[in-house]
Each structure stands twice: as C-alpha cells, then as structure tokens.
Amino acid sequence: MALLGDEDTKYLRESFSELKSDVGVTVVTREKSRLVLPGADDGGGAEDASAEVKQIVDEVAATSPRIKVTHVDAAVDAERAQTLAGAHLPAIVFGGAASKGTLRYFGLPAGYEMSTLIATLMDLGSGEAMVPPEVSDELAKLTAPVHIQVFVISG
C-alpha cells in the first residue's frame, strides 16, 4: 500500500519540478532476515522502521528524476553502512552538488518531519547556497569536527 496519496504525489511532482540540480539520497537500512528461527515471532529480523523508510523515500524520489536514491543494506554491506550511518539505523543520508559535510536523518520522517525531508531535498537541489556568503566564510574556517544533533518527534 502506498504511503503517499495522489494529492501528495501531485504536490511533490510540482514542487520538485523546480529542482535545479540532482540530490543524492542514500537509504541505509537493515533488512529483516529471511531466516525463520524456531520460536522467533518475526523470523529474527531487526525491529525498526527500515521498511517504511525505504518505501517513503522511494515514493518521494519517484516524483522527480532529480532525486537519486541508493540503498545500502547493513546486513549485506556492514562496513559501508557503518561508514554512512554509524551505529544507528534506519538512516537517510543526503548529498547535493554543492553540499559539503554530512547531513543525515535517522528514523522515519513521518508527520511534521515529512516536511523536513521535503525541505531538505528542495534546499539541496536548489542550486543555491543555503547560507549567506559571510556565514559560509566563517564555517569554511573550521578546522575541527563539529557534530550537530537535533532530536525531534514525528507526528
């Protein structure tokens, strides 16, 4: 069953028609194991929002040829998953033509956070700097890592 309705899809197609550059999105998830273990309720798979994250990103990306999605399954490529997302899954890792640094969303961008996903794609694909030049100049002077963590709740 699709997560996006027809109206949502239409809105996204129109919004993303304004994208001026490609946006790379890597979805890092952990697939549920197909191995059925005796006594296990769910076949021994990880219980997280991996399946829903994959689905929503795929559905959103299908509304624009500018949004390029890559999938990484931690069960298949643990090293790459670790490099991209560290210890937390599921993760959506964003990249754009002019983007530096690392930008990630961990969990399912549902409810109000769906607008975060959309806005991020719009910003990265705008082809424009997201901060004024004087701010960019200050940030370019950084010589040590800076880790920004923002905690939110969907809905």
User: Which stretches of the chain bind other proteins, using CB under 8 A?
Assistant: 48-49, 88, 99-109, 113, 116, 129-131, 135-136, 138-140, 142-154
C-alpha to C-alpha distance for 53 and 4, rounded to whole angstroms: 12
CB of residue 88 to other proteins, shortest distance in Å = 6
DSSP string, 38-72: TT-SSTT---SSHHHHHHHHHHHHTT-TTEEEEEE
C-alpha to C-alpha distance for 107 and 117, rounded to whole angstroms: 11
CB of residue 135 to other proteins, shortest distance in Å = 6
CB of residue 36 to other proteins, shortest distance in Å = 25
- Of 34 and 147, which has the nearer Cβ to other proteins? 147
- Of 71 and 104, which has the nearer Cβ to other proteins? 104
- Of 14 and 137, which has the nearer Cβ to other proteins? 137
Q: Which residues contact 105 (CB under 8 A, 6 or more apart)?
A: 91, 92, 94, 113, 116, 117, 120
CB of residue 23 to other proteins, shortest distance in Å = 12
- Of 35 and 140, which has the nearer Cβ to other proteins? 140
